[in-house]
Structure 1
Amino acid sequence: MVTKRPEGNLPLELTSFVGRRHELARARRLMTQTRMLTLTGPGGVGKTRLALRIAADAHRAFRDGVWLVDVAPLNDGESLAPAVLDALGFRDESPRRPDSGLVELLESRQLLLLLDNCEHMPLAVAVLAGKLLGAAPELRILATSRETLGVEGECVFTVPPLALPERGESPALNEAVTLFAERAAAVQPDFTLGDDSEPVAELCRRLDGVPLAIELAAARLRVLPVTQILTRMDDRFRLLADRRQTTVPRHRTLRAAIDWSYDLCDPAERTLWARLSVFPGEFGLEAAEQICSGDGIAADEVFDLLVGLLDKSILARAERTGRARYRFLDNIREYGHAILANSGEEPALRRRHRDHYLGLARRARHEWFGPDQAEWVTRLQHEKDGIRTALEFSLDEPGEAHAALEIVSSLWHFWLFAAGSFGEGRRLLSRALESAPEATPVRADALWVAAWFALRQGDVDTAMPLLGECRDLARRLDHPAALTSVAHFSGLAAHLRGDHREALALLLEARERYLACGDQAGVWMTLFHLVIVHSALGDGDQAAAAAAECLAMCEGRSAYLSRSNALWVAGLAQWFQGAQDRAAALVKKGLDVMRRHDDRWGVAESLEVLAWIEAAHGQEERAATLFGAAGVAWRSVGTATPGLRPFTDFHNICQTRVRGVLGGGAYTSAFQRGAGLSLDQAVDYALDVDRSSSAERPQPSVLTPREQEVAELVAQGLSNKEIAARLVIAQRTAEGHVEHIMTKLSLSSRVQVATWFTHHCR
């Protein structure tokens, strides 16, 4: 039996953790005495860093892991529960409220939830925390906030600044001085305290031991020695003291440190700092260039200005699958936002921000059914905070809701793969439809997407009026593409009602319409549903033909994520015909791709069908184990059983037979064994993969030295053209190397190559 691995999503520490021995000891004691501990204190005092260390140290005590939710990018309380679900890796596929699904998912789990930066929505956090703690007896919550949250039973720990050296004592082992020295060495490798120990100690005293202020000051060693830093800080504090006597001293200190960093920026860097505050979380270079250029900053100047802000520790950099991403610390972003708000540029910047994500949504919709599916999933996952902010702007700004309609409906695949929440997409789309009632083609498209969302959750009663309104509007506007989608999803609705003949006629009509207008993605989706309907009608030859055409389309377009779903539906068709071995081979072939791309719904469907196949083979114990694993997968997308009624019927019939053969005790034991597996372990079990084998994954030696070199450049985010230039080879040769790498490693995208290289070659 496989031992379950610890789970969690805590980030790696990129810099050393300094001091806090007493605070850690006290927090550990408090964690044994309370189920909710809130770390409070002013901005920059180190709440987040301390909480992350506490959580990491406590990891082994929680069977189901330690999970971080950054509350800072969220705009309202409605988005809190979906964000927690997302961070936990669960999918909200059900029509119920997200907090209800979250309660159900956590009630039997033993985990630590770290809610970071809660001060801008204390009531929403308190309400959700109270519900979760009341329903999940083994749940613990660790929160950070600048104020207490008011949860019943909450224990509050005010995080102090770092300890400071007394005058006259050696500062060498002091926490604040050590932090300065370590950060100084990072920017000036030959830095040692030496004769500077007392000036550094004095500087730390002036900064009140606030870690953020100390780190910002250490970054100034690139341009000034310690003594000059101290002099400039003295001058600044005297100036500030006259203006901010009513401000908390620590806030004055932190503000002074950021003021000083702002003064050291040149005018263009200051402008970019303010403009970049329009991003709620991480952002990429392309977005910064498009949104923040203009009015004195050319697009090709943005990169150099970003480098300047990085050098001054204004921005932090992270690497995501070979591409650079940037973000502010929370206080620094707030500082920039205050400047932006006073500049008069904010309304225009927010509209440009929204327009960037509207353009991104249009591109994603157009390019989705093609070779870049995996890259789009990854990119949209990284951009989800920006997407949500763009949607909030469009929904809150008068006259802009039409843009929200288009963003949500264009990104129907985003809510499935990247955001992980059909429920969230459905709620946002419903809100946008209410806010933008105008009769436009955008509304017509949004109506059929809303119907598709409802059907995906088995909600036929809600879908039918939406399809009816879409049909009427499309006819008025002469919008044939929307009429085609109405035929398609009316066919799916008929299938869910059990009227398979009507479903077949409507789906065949839709397929012809999609072909006529060249909509390849529409043709593929219709074929997928035709396989299911032909199978339900007992027409195995037609189902097999539709499945073969569905697979061929994916392979012709190199749409590998769609191909994994096509393999599943082809396997389902074989199961209907009784060809169990062929069905298992097809489903398993797609399952590993689904796992690699975190297609939770696809994994759940695959485990479900494989359980049916094992039962047909007389392997009732394996079937029961797979039912247990499938149950966990179904709950991770927000439902307890297969969501569509025909599959629920098959599930119930098969499960009843397996339980009858095994007996209640043996069935429960096998089922619980499957339910105790992680998603990765469940997939390994279904695929008969032994992770103890050294050959479980391709090793670096599989590649030639040149291919390893190319894989490294792919991991750095270089295009084939850039790789060719770097290695002084023809672009076609570079393309050939990349194709060989993917073939050897059984990978389907550059993102997967980057991930493989990071895991195996670094």
Structure 2
Amino acid sequence: MLWRMGSLPVPRTRLIGRATELTHVAGLVHRSSRLVTLTGVGGVGKTRLAQAVAEAVQGQFRDGAWFVELSPLRHGALVAHVIAETLPLADQTTRPMIDVVAEYLAERETLLVLDTCEHLADACALAAEVLLRAAPGLRILATSRRPLNLVGEEMVVLDPLPVPEEGDLLGGEEDAVALLAERAAEAVPGFTVTDTNRPELVRLCRRLEGLPLAIELAAARLRELSMTELAEKLEDRFGVLGNDREAVPDADPPWHQALRTAIGWSHQLCAPGERLLWARLSVFAGSFDAETARQVCADEWLPVDKLLGLLDGLVEKSILTWQPTGDGERYGMLDTIREFGSHWLRALGEEDLLRCRHLDYYLALAQRGDSAWLGPDQYAWCGRLAAELDNVRAALEFSLDRPRGQAAMELAGALWFFWHCCGFAREGLHYLERALALDTEPSRARARALWVCSLVLSTLGDGRTAEARATEGADMAKHLGDTQAADLARAMVALAVVISGDTQRAKVLALPLFDGHRCEGGLAYPVLASALFLGHAHTLEQEIEEAVAVLEHLRDDCERYGEVWMRAYAEYLLARAELSRGHNTAAQHRGQAVLEVKQRLNDRLGVAMCLDVIAAATAAAGLGERAARLLGMAQQLWDTLGRPQLGLPDWVAARERCETQARTAIGDRSYEAAYQAGRAVPWEAGMAYARSH
């Protein structure tokens, strides 16, 4: 959902203890320190405390608290992109993303939580320095195993939970014991602390040195062991694993002894198939579902029919987390657990094999989405790729770091629909340009990546570079005999020309591709795109009847096949045509229908465009207060997009006419009050208002 005042995740468990640390860190963040870094060993609870601190202080920040999860990210160049995607920000220009984020935050009072920075410490430090310099109202709370080493950084070292003093086996009020008791009750329903088992709880917590993750891993064993057996067996394992560096092969990071022993013991107590699956699942970034795990991890050593049972076993042992979602069940793995699995995967000699399988799976997924996009399942594909974004990034990074054929260009090109249609144009450009720079030889994959790059550049307003990329792609595709890629590239030339404002030339380029053709054998993007650009050019030149004929043709083709994304753009331009005809009610109804589609596809540019057209229809009908509120809501979004009305003179003029009509209807003072109310309205309420009649 767009535009909440913050994006704090809902914790899976309640915070136990940490009252002193919570008060101390919250005070630093709110009152005295602009950059606070929580450090400590893996598994000590840095992320959970940071979540609690952000929740406690978010009401003190006018523009909210935003949680930026960096653990799945494997390349520092994307830190600013991930921050931007977390914020309600969708800049539609080609400026450096860190500059865009800095400009957005400059006048705001915001808390950013940068979670898990250690593997990207230099990139995080650079981003933090730039943003803090640009935004006086910004505070940053970072979690990292090592400091960011910036001037003014307040470092808070998080220690393990308190445990009873040595010899105090009847203690039990300490936080570590409370955590173990609660996790034991989750593992064994009905478990309670008694005078009989209390000494074993205390002994276990002392042996695990109060480290929360180690305690949670140990508690998961209570499903098959009594507390006494657990304490005794863990004591034995410390004698073996506590001094055995092979417990974590090629150990890096520096493992805390208690955690190393707890993880190593959990690993040894797993069945052989579970250990192998644990290692192989470490190639996933973020979450994954069971079917993806089967596709990437299963083979003769891990039969397909055993995978679901092995996944359930790893969940029971707290190696995996289980995450029900609206689209099905997904699994996740804590960073420390994933690192352990990665070390074992490397020791097994399977790292390259599994990363190649992972890449192949996501390339095939992107290609299926490409083939199916122009059809009835666009919402599902948008949701699927959004859920898999962390893994898509990991696959792209692997294909760029270790080139294998043309996989990087193929994957970045196949994802055109996700970059362009689902709100990830800036990130798409990042990967497309890296892939194109990696392999400059003429090929079908390069020709395709060129037209996709042109599409994204046009979306971001760089018509000149977009035209150059598309022209290169068209020439290359023609030389290679790839007719489809050549048509797509020529359509992108037409789009680039429209964006640049040369409507006459755009019509000349688009008409041969359209040429009255209907997609009887299925929808073809070059035809749909050329129809849209042709209709747009006619609309800009006030050739309304010609525009309506082309756009209704496009709409009917899309409707026949259940396609909603391109149809919505046709309806949007038809709404503008209705405005030109003076049909205000029809324009408003079309705009409202498009608004719902654009919301569901996370197309923030499309939402802003729809709000403008609904506001224009409302103002033309004499409803000045409603029009002013809608303009304020639209401006709330245009502020995050970089270029209001995409800089198109006709759209800017239409917006100015709308404002003038609204001011005339209700007066300047009433207009300003309604406009500011719309600009400040919560997003969900604003969208409901815009869709109402």
One-letter amino acid matched to 2:445: V
Q: 1:151 to 1:264 in 2, by over 3 A?
A: same
Q: Tell me the residue number matched to 1:587.
A: 591
Find the partner of 1:355 among 355, 360, 364. 360
- TM-score normalized with structure 2 length: 0.93
Aligned-residue offset at 1:614: 3.2
Correspondence 1:695-734 to 2 at 5 A: none
2:335 partner amino acid: D
Deviation per residue, 1:232-276 (Å, 9 max, x gap): 221222224444699999701101000000001111111111011
Secondary structure of the equivalent of 1:325? strand
1:425 aligns with 2:428: yes
Preserved CA contact (<8 Å) 2:44 2:159: yes
331-340 vs 128-137, greater mean Cα deviation = 128-137
Is this contact kept in 2: 1:457–1:644, CA < 8 A? no
Q: Show the counterpart of 1:205.
A: 206
Q: Which amino acid aligns with 2:634?
A: A
SS at structure 2 position matched to 1:326? strand
- Taking a change above 3 Å as real, the CA distance of residues 509 and 210 of structure 1, as seen in their structure-2 partners, is same
Matches within 5 A, 1:636-675: 636=640, 638-651=641-654, 653-654=656-657, 657=660, 661=664, 668-675=672-679
**1:286-685 paired onto structure 2 within 5 Å:** 286-400=291-405, 402-418=406-422, 420-512=423-515, 515=519, 518-636=522-640, 638-651=641-654, 653-654=656-657, 657=660, 661=664, 668-685=672-689
| Structure 1: stretches of 5+ with no match in the other structure | 690-762
Q: Which residue of 1 is the match for residue 185 of structure 2? A: 185
Match of 1:217 in 2: 218
Aligned-partner Cα distance in 1 for 2:101–2:436: 26
Equivalents in 1 of 2:601, 2:252: separation in Å? 49
Native 8 Å contact 2:420 2:455 kept in 1: no
1:171 aligned partner: 171
Name the counterpart of 1:156: 155
2:9 matched to which residue of 1?
Answer: 11
2:594 is matched by which residue type in structure 1?
G
Cα distance, 1:497–1:93 mapped onto 2, change above 3 Å = closer
Deviation at 1:633, TM superposition (A): 1.0
Over 3 Å counting, the alpha-carbon distance change for 1:656 and 1:18 in structure 2 is closer
- Offset of residue 592 of structure 1: 2.7
Of 23, 26, 42, the match for 1:25: 23
Which secondary structure does the structure 1 equivalent of 2:210 belong to?
coil
Residue identity in the other structure for 1:193? V
Deviation at 1:651, TM superposition (A): 4.6
1:14-71 CA-to-partner distances (Å, cap 9, x unmatched) read 2232111221122222222212221110000011111111111222222322211111
Q: Do structure 1's residue 226 and structure 2's residue 227 form an aligned pair?
A: yes
Q: Contact conserved, 1:611 with 1:624, CA < 8 A, in 2?
A: yes
Query: Structure 1 498/218 Cα, relative in aligned 2: closer, same or farther at 3 Å?
Result: closer
> What letter corresponds to residue 323 of structure 1 in structure 2?
G
Whether the 8 Å CA contact 1:496–1:644 is kept in 2: the answer is: no
Q: 1:619 to 1:115 in 2, by over 3 A?
A: same
Aligned CA distance change for structure 1 residues 28 and 292 (closer, same or farther; 3 Å): same
Segments of 5+ residues of structure 2 without an aligned counterpart are none
1:238 match: 239
Instruction: Tell me how far apart the structure 1 counterparts of residues 252 and 600 of structure 2 sit (CA, whole Å).
Output: 51
Cα offsets for 1:164-199 (capped at 9, x unmatched) = 112336333221111111111111102122211101
Cα separation, partners in 2 of 1:220 and 1:91, compared to 1, 3 Å:
same
State the 1:565 CA deviation.
3.1
Give 1:231's aligned amino acid: E
Is the contact between residue 62 and residue 111 of structure 1 (CA under 8 Å) also seen in structure 2? Answer: yes
Residue pair 1:458, 1:645 contacting (<8 A) in 2 also: no
One-letter amino acid matched to 1:204: C
Secondary structure at 1:279's aligned position in 2? coil
Q: What corresponds to 2:279 in structure 1?
A: 274
Rounded to whole Å, the distance in 2 between the matches of 1:683 and 1:372 is: 24
Cα contact 2:38–2:155 (8 A) shared by 1: yes
1:641–1:648 contact (8 Å) kept in structure 2: no
Amino acid at match of 2:127: L
CA distance in 1, matches of 2:68, 2:678: 28
The size of the alignment, in residue pairs, is 683
Q: Residues 26 and 493 of structure 1: is their aligned pair in 2 closer, same or farther, counting only changes over 3 Å?
A: closer
How much identity, in percent, do the aligned residues show? 39
Change in Cα spacing, 1:242 to 1:173, as seen in structure 2 (3 Å) is closer
2:477 and 2:597 map into 1 onto residues whose CA distance is 37
Q: Is the 8 A contact 1:485 1:510 kept in 2?
A: no
Letter in 2 for 1:228: E
| SS at 1:643 equivalent | helix
Indicate conservation of the 8 Å contact 1:484/1:514, yes or no. Answer: no
1:473 is paired with a residue of what secondary structure?
helix
Letter in 2 for 1:201: V
Amino acid at match of 2:239: R
Map 1:94-113; keep pairs closer than 5 Å.
Answer: 94-113=93-112
Are the structure 2 counterparts of residues 516 and 483 from structure 1 closer, same or farther at C-alpha, using a change threshold of 3 Å? farther
**Paired letter, 1:577:** R
Note if contact 1:8-1:65 (Cα within 8 Å) is conserved in structure 2: yes
Q: Counterpart amino acid of 1:212?
A: L
Aligned mates of 2:320, 2:521 — CA distance in 1: 47
**2:197 counterpart SS class:** helix
Residue 23 of structure 2 aligns to which amino acid in structure 1?
Answer: A
Q: What is the CA-CA distance between 1:665 and the residue it aligns to? A: 5.9
| 1:199 partner amino acid | E
**Distance across 2 between alignment mates of 1:63 and 1:522:** 46
- Which range moves more in the overlay, 247-256 or 539-548? 247-256
Deviation at 1:163, TM superposition (A): 1.1
Alpha-carbon contact 2:113-2:141 (below 8 Å) kept: yes
Counterpart in 2 of 1:258?
A: 263
CA distance in structure 2 between the partners assigned to 1:261 and 1:140 by the alignment: 39
Report the more deviating stretch, 500-509 or 62-71: 500-509
SS in 2 for 1:162: coil
Report the AA paired with residue 28 of structure 1. A
Answer whether contact 1:642 1:651 (CA < 8 A) is retained: no
Q: Return the offset for 1:518.
A: 4.7
Displacement of 1:678 in angstroms is: 3.1
How far did 1:668 drift? Answer: 4.5
The alignment partner of 2:313 has SS state of: helix
Matched-pair contact (CA < 8 Å) for 1:658–1:667: no
User: Per the alignment, do residues 597 and 149 of structure 1 end up closer, same or farther by CA in structure 2, a change over 3 Å counting?
Assistant: same
* CA contact 2:26–2:56 (8 Å) conserved in 1: no
**Structure 2 partner of 1:692:** none
Q: Aligned in 2, Cα 1:657/1:261: closer, same or farther, shift over 3 Å? A: same
CA RMSD across the alignment: 2.5
Aligned CA distance change for structure 1 residues 518 and 250 (closer, same or farther; 3 Å): closer
CA distance in 1, matches of 2:53, 2:656: 48
Asked if structure 2 preserves the Cα contact closer than 8 Å seen for 1:415 and 1:424, the reply is yes
Q: Work out the CA distance in 1 between the residues paired with 2:253 and 2:302.
A: 36
Give 1:658 deviation, angstroms.
Answer: 5.2
